[in-house]
């Protein structure tokens, strides 16, 4: 096994060093192997940008500063990590990054909604549903956001789409809380609708 590892590392170093011309890309120190700091990894920039955006100070002068930081980080996520690879380590890392992406979009949905930026909040909500249509609390928020953005018919269409997706994918009906959002939309109960997107 050690001989195979050394052979794999030698091949990796030969290939990377030739194409990147950045010096010694694969570093070996005793029994530890790693990638040199000279290599720019989009995954590392993605995670660092999200940490800065979520944990950075919020300025009253620029309240959406952290949101632009998060948007920049999310642009780096162009699909699941190493699609087509099925090793266990890869699948768990792929899922971790996917959840980080979706959770960050959820956070941004709520932050945009808190600012009354309905369209930006809707964009985030729709991006979540493109990747995970079964997060049932997200269609509820999207329904409320459509209504608050002045598009009640589209809010009701979102409910029907949610109901159909749950039926086709899981064979279940919407939760009671989702039905309550639909009822609030039909009754145009603005207080109940605003409560859905309150942080």
C-alpha distances out from residue 128 to 7, 141, 152, Å: 42, 11, 21
Distance CA 163, CA 53 (A): 34
Mean pLDDT per 10-residue segment, the chain (199 residues):
79 71 65 70 90 72 73 92 84 93 95 94 96 94 97 97 96 96 96 90
pLDDT of residue 175: 96
Task: Report the length, in residues, of the chain.
Answer: 199
Provide the greatest CA pair distance for the chain.
71
CA distance 155 to 141: 10
35 phi and psi, to 5 degrees? -100, 135
């Amino acid at each position: 096994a050690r001989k195979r590892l050394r052979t794999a590392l030698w091949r990796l170093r030969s290939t990377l060093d030739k194409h990147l011309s950045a010096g010694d890309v694969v570093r070996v120190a005793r029994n530890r192997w790693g990638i040199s700091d000279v290599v720019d990894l989009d995954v590392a920039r993605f995670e660092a940008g999200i940490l800065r955006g979520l944990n950075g100070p919020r300025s009253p002068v620029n309240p959406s500063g952290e949101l632009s930081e998060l948007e920049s980080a999310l642009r780096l996520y162009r699909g699941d990590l190493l699609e087509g690879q099925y090793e266990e380590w890869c699948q768990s890392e792929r899922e971790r990054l996917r959840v980080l992406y979706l959770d960050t979009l959820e956070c941004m949905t709520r932050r945009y909604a808190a600012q009354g930026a309905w369209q930006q909040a809707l964009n985030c909500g729709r991006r979540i549903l493109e990747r995970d249509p079964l997060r049932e609390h997200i269609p509820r928020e999207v329904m409320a956001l459509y209504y608050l953005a002045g598009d009640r018919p589209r809010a009701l269409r979102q409910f029907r789409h949610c109901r159909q997706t749950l039926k086709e994918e899981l064979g279940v009906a919407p939760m009671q809380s989702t039905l309550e959002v639909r009822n609030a939309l039909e009754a145009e109960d603005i207080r109940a609708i605003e409560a859905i997107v309150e942080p």
